[in-house]
Amino acid sequence: MFQYTFFQYALWGTLPACLLCAMVGTYMVTRRTVIAGGGMAHASLGGVGLGAYFGFPPLLGAALFAVLSGLGINALQRQRVREDSAVAMLWTFGMSVGILFAYLTPGFMTDLPAYLFGDVLAVTPADILITGILAAVCGVLYALCLPVLVLVAYDAEFARTRRIPVRAVETVMTVLTALTIVACLHTVGIVLVISLLTVPQVTAALFVRTFGRMVVLSAVLAYAACVAGLCLSFIFGIPSGATIILVSILLYLVCRTIKTLQSRFIKV
């Protein structure tokens, strides 16, 4: 399987995607904004439908919709709208717009599953380059501003007392989260992308207690799940995106069981 060019592209394409998800996902899990990330992921379908209907790249539309929905969630929260309500509102709006315009675009409904569930075996060198550039930008941001990001992620109110521009940090991370979601659409798709931003981080949290170590370990776990999922999907002829997520969750369950048994053994 490793001799096929499309499989090699899939392996190279998931590497920067996993690095991105490790960095952004660790912030999301720590900041407890996973539900907002899910809202942005599903709302991005609106941009996909609009792009197909009006003739511009669907991924560009997905990026615009994801960013605007994320900023919209933040704006509604500042207007004292509950986060879950704001997410539900923009989530359903984006998906409704996307499905409507996809239906109105002749022939596009047959392409929609690729955006919903991903097609990592169709990754191109351009996709790898874009995701790699975004991962590099995110890495530079984390290297320069890690203490600030950690403080905002763990305790935004305390960060405000230290005169840290929390709103600006939240805006930058919202935009980065939206772009990360769009960059991972070819890997697992809109429906499953939130798992790649969450499950490896939760698994890593079983073994580490610092932000930086969680980023590193979640990147390793995410890429291991991607490689294993790709191999299984190739061998058994099953969808790659769903297989990657199932492997990731199975890895969490195994690690959780090991951690539980270890704790019981120590107590004994």
Task: Summarize pLDDT for 32-71 with one digit per residue, the tens.
Answer: 999 999 999 999 999 999 999 999 999 899 999 999 999 9
Average pLDDT over residues 223-232: 95
Residues 6+ apart with CB under 8 A from 207: 217, 255, 259
The span from the CA of 228 to the CA of 223, in Å, is 8
Task: Summarize pLDDT for 173-192 with one digit per residue, the tens.
Answer: 999 999 999 888 877 888 78
Query: For the chain, what is the mean pLDDT?
Result: 91
Taking alpha carbons only, the member of 15, 6, 45, 2 closest to residue 129 is 15
Residues 6+ apart with CB under 8 A from 218: 21, 22, 25, 26, 200, 201, 203, 204
pLDDT score at 267: 65
The DSSP-derived string for 88-120 is: HHHHHHHHHHHHHHHHHSTTGGGTHHHHHH--G
